Copies of this chain bind each other. A is one copy, B any other.
């Protein structure tokens, strides 16, 4: 790791100008084969790695795309605090049911994978920021200075810093509601998905009385899903007012608390429709322990399609969002905007899929 070599070193070593070195790296076809070979050889010998900073400054594009997500979950849990043991190996009996799963944010993981996939595929690197510690405004600003465009989970960034940043680079909003007409936006068919699920329960499973378990009051996704639910009831002549709504904050714990509360109340609905999978799993946790048969006594459904819902027993009927596609679509929208800054705002709604599994389809 001596002094890193530069175009100048390579040029001198190969006996050409720095312009030629640059061309060999960027448009090799424009350079005579013999010179190209010579330069490439020097690159190897000198272990030359081009500086992206210099490149980005000169070319006025960085080749990097950004992705910013807030931290919705307790990351502290991930810090492996208990690993501060000083011995090499510890042996412990690991009791079941020590709270939440350790992988809280599969949603983010999949969106990240999709973004990454698409970005690299299109020849861009991806810079990821997950909100934590610093405030969103600072982080977004920091990322914005480093990239050609960025995607942001809607609602994770206050309007002011978002506007600030969007004056410099294109910003794509992921999920949530559209924010005016100023941003490109990709999201999923929340309303339609929940409506389809509710219609299925009414038509095929003959459900007439529901409990709806909602997420946080400020979640636009939650609002859309609830709207779809209500819509289905109305379409089939059921009065939404007869289906109570509880809130579970999108967490597994919230789902458990709601289920306990329900049990205390004494009357069970035929189906508990949850606004996301985490809460539905929490409900299942409690029902399992209390010996309430699912779906025999109560049907339980979720929304999202996270992996844990495929491994629960009974497996969870849910509405699967195309999370990977969401990430990919965000990147594509960004690149499309970059290529054509003047095009009208993009607003994409990705299709969802109702997955019928044993938590709704089993024996009565």
A interface residues, Cβ below 8 angstroms from B = 1-2, 4, 44, 47, 49-57, 62, 64, 75, 78-80, 82-83, 85-94, 96, 101-103, 106, 109-110, 113-114, 116-117, 120-121, 125-130, 132-134, 139, 141-146, 163-170, 189, 192-193, 195-196, 200, 307-308, 310-313, 315, 319, 322-325, 328, 341, 349-358, 361
Contact = CB atoms under 8 A, between A and B. Distances in A.
Copy tally for this chain in the complex stands at 2
B325 A83 contact: yes
A4 B167 contact: yes
B310 A1 contact: no
B129 A128 contact: no
Given A75-B117, A113-B78, A351-B90, A310 B102 contact: yes
Contacts of A165: 47, 49
B145 A49 contact: yes
Contact of A192 (B89, B94, B127, B146): B89
Given A1-B170, A355-B92, A120 B133 contact: yes
A358 B352 CA distance: 37
B75 A113 contact: yes
A202 to B, nearest CB: 13
- Which of A78, A311, A358 counts the most B-chain CB atoms under 10 A from its CB? A78
Contacts of A110: 78
Nearest to A101: B307
Contact of A125 (B142, B325, B353): B142
Contact of A51 (B47, B57, B93, B103): B57
A300 to B, nearest CB: 15
A307 B306 CA distance: 13
Contacts of A361: 93
Contacts of A315: 94, 96
Given A1-B169, A93-B356, A103-B106, A80 B146 contact: no
A315 B95 CA distance: 10
A82 B91 CA distance: 44
- Closest CB pairs A-B (n = 7): A53-B56, A47-B167, A52-B146, A94-B355, A83-B322, A91-B354, A53-B57
A168 to B, nearest CB: 5
A143 B117 contact: no
A183 to B, nearest CB: 11
A56 B341 CA distance: 27
Which of A1, A350, A352 gathers most chain B CB within 10 Å?
Answer: A1
A334 to B, nearest CB: 12
